[in-house]
Amino acid sequence: MTQTPRSPDAAPAAAAQPVPPVAKREPTTARLHGQPRVDDYAWLRKKGAPDVEEYLRAENAYADAMLKPVEGLRQKLYEEMLGRVQQADLSAPYPRGGWLYYKRTEEGKQYPLLCRKRPGEGAAEEVLLDLNEMAKGETFLSLGAFEPSDDGDLLAYTIDTQGFRVYDLRVKDLRAGRLLDDRAHDVGSVAWAADNKTLFYVVKDAAKRPYRLYRRALGAGAGADPLVYEEGDERFNLDVKRTRSGAYLVANAASHTTSEARVLEASKPAGGFRLVVPRRQDHEYELDHRGDLFYIRTNDKGRNFRLVTAPAADPSPAKWKELLPHRDEVMLENVDVFQDFYALLERKDALPSVRLVAFAGGKSTQVELPEPIYSLWPAENHEFKAKTYRYTYTSFVTPESIYDADAKTGASALVKRTPVPNYDPSLYAQERTFATAPDGTRVPVSLVYKKGAQARDGRAPVYLYGYGSYGVTIPVAFRLAPVSMLDRGVTFALAHVRGGGDLGKKWHDAGRMMQKRNTFADFIAAAEHLVAERYAAPGRVAVGGGSAGGLLMGAVVNQRPDLFRAVLAQVPFVDVVNTMLDETLPLTVGEFEEWGNPKEKAAYDYMMSYSPYDNVKAQGYPAMLVVSAYHDSQVFYHEPAKWVAKLRATKTDRNPLVLRMNMEGAGHGGKSGRFDALRERALEQAFLLWQLGAEG
């Protein structure tokens, strides 16, 4: 489809406009901090009510009508994206307990098969789980935990068929190929003891918080599992895991700012977990094990963490010995301990790196990386006696690649690069630039574009993405979907705003709680910078973000609607104050340490200053596509539904405002099948290209 790009000021071709649904106003009033708090659309929270579902289906019908002009483009984008998928493929096999485990996809099938085989030529494949068979009769399927026993005879796994993060535990006898009667409902993490018959698992409370640790002796029957530990503080989530050495089970309780670990020898599953270091507010730590020592990553001496050792018999802080000091300029993100070496994942200047340190002699080897901007993270590293460290590497132009780094030399060998048909990485370029926030902070912005499309002449359309919460770093990673945008001359940009973890813990601290507005200021500064430096044409900047990134979208369009041409808000967390006032909702109590508690007057006033739903104004807004899921358990459907209703009743422009609500078969991440997910991405990008005038 070839079209002449519109000028920045031109509107999309006009057609007979469908009539949007009108949400009724039913004001609900409460008093807080001595002031009335009115919510006109609180009725939309009544999930399952006929009038709520009727309204949402009317929104979907309106969305279908409004997006009809891009149906052809959407289909073309889907075909392009699908053409870059090698449908029959095999993941990089990883060793675990004498087996090689891997995923295999087949032509035309939505889900992978999880398989294993013995090492060596001609070894027979064993299909452990065929998710396609398991998905029959379901509208959604997501695999959670996947834990084989040490002897490889049993597999514990969890599965969600709702999209509401309700993962149920199943145990499969891999010798007989049948499911055991041992089950549990709404499970988080699982871990095997060393006896191959005792399973530890964590269940969730009504607010979806993992909080109770149980011990299951296989075959004991339902209801017979003893409670091992219950986490009573609602800020804390509980998980259980096994150390790579196999020697210990670890029960971690962690809030957004504080953590605490308990350990149990895996060979003594009937014993009791013992506390490592008692929790102390704002002290975070996690441990690994080797020999008679625990290796503890701790932020007791600084926000960016240091590494210490402690005797496993008595790991109290008085016995700690420092291996690696805290550094203001380097974030110690992760430590993996093996028999002969340990691997450090570090982050400096918004770039991660891997360093391998030998126990014998202490030689430190930096893993060399080939591109100026990229992302990497640990891959599957289950074998304690490994001689290599496996990591995942990617960039905007390099598809996801699995490498094994030699523990002695640091030399990396490519194990597997995701094949991408109909894609030539040499056609694209990436770079990093820096915006300046109003307080003088330099904000990194990473960009990718097709060579020749970014002449910095102030004419290019740009799609700017952001997140900026929880200390999460959105990776500079290859993504299938944006390639179609790049091929149409759009520059994709990622703003590494405060609130994320891009420059360490201090970067996160500078964009949370009573400094949250820095996140929005950084993003606006990034957009202004792209225009000022002529990467982007004025009036041709589209923006996007999901979940807490949807909060970012809602905040910046309230503050600077003139700066953006179009907005994509995915499962947006936009009704901040109302949600954080409701402690029955999942995530709320734990996130008091990220956003604040609005029951406190200072926090309430600050949150009210940016909460998107509470700051909708009678002004013009950009074209907006809002996508959500009725069964999302992380950002409930009613947040975007209420936000859109209020925007419709308040805004003064005639730009498209479209809400697309997945009524079934989707969760926080959208639909679960790989082809269904591509169709969703195609719709979103068709909308953005349409509004940017870059369809051709």
Residues serving a catalytic function are: 547, 632, 668
Give the separation between CA 429 and CA 436, rounded to whole angstroms: 23
Give the separation between CA 183 and CA 170, rounded to whole angstroms: 5
Look-up: residue for tokens 């679960």?
672
Give the separation between CA 97 and CA 110, rounded to whole angstroms: 29
Look-up: residue for tokens 């599953």?
269
Residue type, 414: L
Give the separation between CA 298 and CA 293, rounded to whole angstroms: 15
DSSP bridge partners of 198: 217
Tokens of 23: 């949400």
Tokens of 184: 């549990």
DSSP string, 140-207: --EEEEEEE-TTSSEEEEEEESSSSS-PEEEEEETTTTEEEEEEESSEEEEEE-TTSSEEEEEEE-TT
Give the separation between CA 525 and CA 186, rounded to whole angstroms: 43
Buried b (16+ CB within 10 A) or exposed e, 510-529: bbbbeebbbbbbbbbbbbbb
Query: Is the torsion defined by CA of 293, 294, 295, 300 positive or negative?
Result: negative
Report yes or no: 693 and 6 within 8 Å, Cβ to Cβ.
Answer: yes
3-state secondary structure at position 112? coil
H-helix segments, 533-634:
548-559, 576-581, 592-595, 601-608
Strand order in the sheet with 412-417: 375-378, 388-394, 401-406, 412-417
Using alpha carbons, select from 659, 468, 650, 655 the residue that is nearest to residue 546: 468
The CA–CA distances, whole Å, from 480 to 244, 402, 544 equal: 33, 17, 16
